[in-house]
């Protein structure tokens, strides 16, 4: 029987009651843990955790991730300040360089800005105050309803609704869904103010694989950037990595609004997912595709 793939789902904040802690990603964790191979054996062992620091102030797991048993890191950068330390970034980078797979995601403005300190995939995340989008025309407000949130804040729809996504050709394997007539994933959970991702300078293995459309301005924006593995002459084969514009693609509230949200989220939710839950299979198929694609070759 093959050994299971070990996936770490981790936030960049400590355990607190009224925030986007890892408990609010329970549906994602349950879905990953439910996936089985042809023999009925579980494919993935899923560990969920929030940030826990050691005596040096570094995350006890992330700072030494390269020496752990994990094969994948799904990192939800939900912090408004602090976040990853230099030691955390070094541990994650070594993990990636030795072949570990990574999904990294954040949200609007500077939420999760510690991601941009990561090498490689970190530079695919554009923020308000650091690592700005090189296209200066994009450094303007998109969502104009929530005035306390500045750019980047692309309005793909209300929480609880769907957004139509556009796979970029050639269609990446991450976006395949044979259950749809198109053969591709068509919908993601929507969010009123998504962040910005794009091609990191100098990363020739990176490409934008899906875009969304603002319901406020009609402007197209990037949803997903994928970095394929690379072979280093000394370190060997690196992992694969993904940058996503918003962790709201994965959070419980955006799969099922009855799960609730932190008190600081004030926008009224939509009800498309509640009325038509079948289309939620797209994001679940995408999650399955991500887990398979990020699994190291050896």
Q: Tokens at residue 230, please? A: 């690379």
The pLDDT of residue 30 = 98
Q: Tokens at residue 274, please? A: 């509640």
- Total domains present in the chain: 1
The pLDDT of residue 204 = 87
Measured distance CA(84)–CA(61) in Å, rounded: 12
Mean pLDDT for back-to-back runs of 10 residues, the chain (298 residues)? 89 96 98 95 97 96 97 97 95 94 98 90 96 97 95 98 98 98 98 97 92 97 94 74 98 98 96 97 98 88
**Closest to 157 (Cα-Cα) out of 243, 246, 270:** 270
Three-state secondary structure string covering the chain: CCCCEEEEEEECCCCCCCCCCHHHHHHHHHHHHHCECCCCCECEEEEEECCCECCCCCECCHHHHHHCCCCEEEEECCCCCCCCCHHHHHHHHHHHHCCCEEEEECCCCCCCHHHHHCCHHHHHEECCCCCCCCCHHHCCCCCCCCCCCCCCCECCCCCCCEEECEECCCCCHHHECCCCCCCECCEEECCCCECEECCCCCCCCEEEEEEEECCCCCCEEEEEEEECCCEECCCEECCCEEEECCHHHCCHHHHCHHHCCCCCCCCCCCCHHHHCHHHHHHHHHHHHHHHHHHCCCC
Rg (CA), the chain: 18
pTM of the entire structure? 0.97
Parallel, antiparallel or unpaired: strands 206-213 and 125-126 = unpaired
The pLDDT of residue 62 = 98
The pLDDT of residue 234 = 61
Q: Tokens at residue 33, please? A: 């843990």
Q: Which domain holds residue 234?
A: 5-294
Measured distance CA(175)–CA(279) in Å, rounded: 14
**Closest to 46 (Cα-Cα) out of 8, 3, 72:** 8
What CATH number is attached to the domain comprising 90? 3.40.50.880
């Amino acid at each position: 029987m093959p050994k299971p793939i070990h996936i770490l789902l981790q936030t960049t904040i400590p355990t607190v009651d009224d925030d986007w802690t890892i408990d609010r990603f329970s549906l994602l964790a349950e879905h990953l843990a439910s996936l089985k191979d042809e023999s009925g054996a579980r494919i993935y062992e899923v560990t969920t955790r929030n940030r826990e620091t050691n005596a040096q102030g570094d995350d006890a797991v992330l700072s030494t991730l390269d020496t752990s048993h994990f094969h994948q890191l799904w990192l939800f950068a939900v912090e408004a300040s602090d976040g990853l330390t230099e030691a955390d970034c070094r541990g994650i980078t070594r993990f990636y360089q030795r072949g570990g797979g990574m999904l990294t995601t954040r949200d609007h403005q500077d939420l999760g800005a510690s991601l941009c300190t990561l090498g490689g995939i970190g530079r695919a995340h554009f923020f308000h105050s650091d690592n700005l989008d090189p296209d200066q025309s994009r450094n303007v407000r998109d969502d104009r309803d929530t005035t306390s949130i500045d750019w980047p804040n692309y309005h793909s729809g209300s929480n609880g609704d769907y957004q139509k996504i556009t796979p970029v050709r050639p269609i990446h394997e991450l976006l395949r869904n044979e259950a749809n007539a198109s053969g591709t994933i068509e919908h993601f959970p929507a969010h009123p103010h998504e962040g910005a991702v794009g091609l990191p300078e100098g990363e020739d293995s990176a490409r934008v694989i899906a875009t969304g459309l603002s319901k406020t301005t009609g402007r197209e924006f990037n949803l997903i950037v994928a970095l394929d593995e690379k072979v280093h002459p000394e370190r060997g084969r690196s992992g694969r990595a993904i940058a996503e514009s918003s962790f709201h693609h994965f959070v419980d509230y955006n799969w099922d609004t009855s799960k609730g949200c932190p008190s600081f989220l004030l926008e009224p939710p939509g009800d498309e997912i509640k009325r038509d839950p079948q289309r939620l299979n797209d994001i679940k198929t995408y999650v399955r595709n991500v887990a398979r694609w990020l699994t190291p070759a050896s």
